[in-house]
């Protein structure tokens, strides 16, 4: 959970020095090139043909659409905790998509666990999750990020199957680069102001969040059902709140702690119920 939760923190810190699409472009490019180099050293063949296309589509959805939209939303004023809450709806949206597309079955106990998790997330971010009218556009962008990860992970499991952990992830990351590069160049004018504190944030975002985090997600999806894996995302806002308190000095109040307990209980229930 630390890997996924830290993405919101690294995004918050990265946006202090770079515009959203510019930061996303650098993140995907660094991570993709690192994985491409590793694949070359290991002499791992890159995917080809239809498989290459499917991996690229999934990469655009999971990487480009999700993360760039989250960055734009936070840049427009959506608090990181509220952004984490919206993305935490992914267990519900992905599970609902998985029923007709992947023919997965969800039992009543899993639905109850998912609802409890959502309630815990909502409770945890109540203390700092209020939006003004001027943040509605940002809210829409974060919702677009939710759509990206929901459709992308279901598409990944439906059309891509087992993915090569190095070359496959490299394809997905590099496929996301041109999608975010265009707005970075023409809408933002490549807006980045690197400082000594910027590079560690970028490297963490690229190497840990993009490589380790997404690779871990695909690994879990191969071994478990989409509904069970996606329920783990209810813990991400809790991890974000904890990291925010430690690293950014954000207040961790009683509602956040209560939400943490409720979301944890819901997550455990959703994952213990077998189909």
- Exposure pattern of 191-225 as b/e (b: 16+ CB <10 Å)? ebeeeeebeebbebbbbbbbbebbbebbeebeeeb
pLDDT digits (tens, 9 = 90+) for 181-230: 999 999 999 999 989 999 999 999 999 988 888 777 667 766 665 556 65
Identify the H or E element spanning 43: none
pTM of the model: 0.85
Contacts of 34 (CB under 8 A, 6+ apart): 206, 207, 211
User: Looking at the chain, which runs of residues are DSSP E strands?
Assistant: none
Please report, for residues 81, 117, 182, 208, 223, the alpha-carbon distance to residue 154 in angstroms, rounded to integers and kept in the order given: 25, 21, 26, 23, 14
The SS3 of residue 192 is strand
pLDDT digits (tens, 9 = 90+) for 135-145: 778 888 998 99
pLDDT digits (tens, 9 = 90+) for 24-67: 999 999 999 999 999 999 988 888 889 999 999 999 999 999 99
Contacts of 49 (CB under 8 A, 6+ apart): none
Dist CA 272 CA 275 (whole Å) = 10
Is residue 263 within 8 Å of 124, Cβ to Cβ?
A: yes
């Amino acid at each position: 959970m630390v890997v996924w939760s830290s993405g919101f923190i690294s995004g918050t810190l990265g946006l202090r020095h770079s515009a959203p699409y510019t930061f996303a472009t650098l993140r995907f490019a660094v991570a993709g090139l690192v994985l491409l180099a590793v694949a070359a050293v290991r002499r791992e063949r890159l995917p080809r043909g239809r498989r290459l296309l499917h991996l690229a589509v999934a990469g655009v959805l999971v990487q480009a659409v999700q993360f760039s939209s989250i960055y734009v939303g936070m840049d427009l004023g959506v608090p990181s905790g509220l952004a984490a809450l919206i993305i935490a709806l992914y267990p519900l949206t992905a599970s609902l998509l998985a029923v007709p597309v992947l023919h997965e079955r969800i039992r009543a106990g899993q639905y109850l666990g998912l609802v409890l998790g959502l309630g815990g997330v909502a409770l945890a971010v109540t203390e700092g999750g209020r939006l003004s009218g001027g943040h509605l556009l940002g809210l829409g962008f974060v919702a677009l990020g939710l759509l990206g990860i929901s459709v992308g992970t279901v598409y990944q499991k439906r059309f891509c199957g087992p993915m090569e952990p190095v070359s496959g992830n490299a394809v997905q990351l590099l496929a996301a680069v041109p999608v975010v590069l265009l707005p970075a160049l023409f809408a933002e004018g490549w807006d980045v102001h690197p400082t000594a504190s910027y590079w560690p944030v970028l490297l963490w975002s690229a190497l840990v969040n993009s490589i380790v985090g997404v690779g871990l997600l695909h690994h879990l999806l191969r071994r478990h059902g989409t509904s069970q894996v996606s329920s783990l995302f209810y813990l991400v806002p809790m991890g974000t709140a904890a990291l925010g308190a430690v690293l950014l000095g954000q207040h961790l109040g009683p509602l956040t702690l209560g939400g943490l307990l409720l979301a944890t209980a819901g997550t455990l229930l959703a994952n213990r119920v077998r189909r």
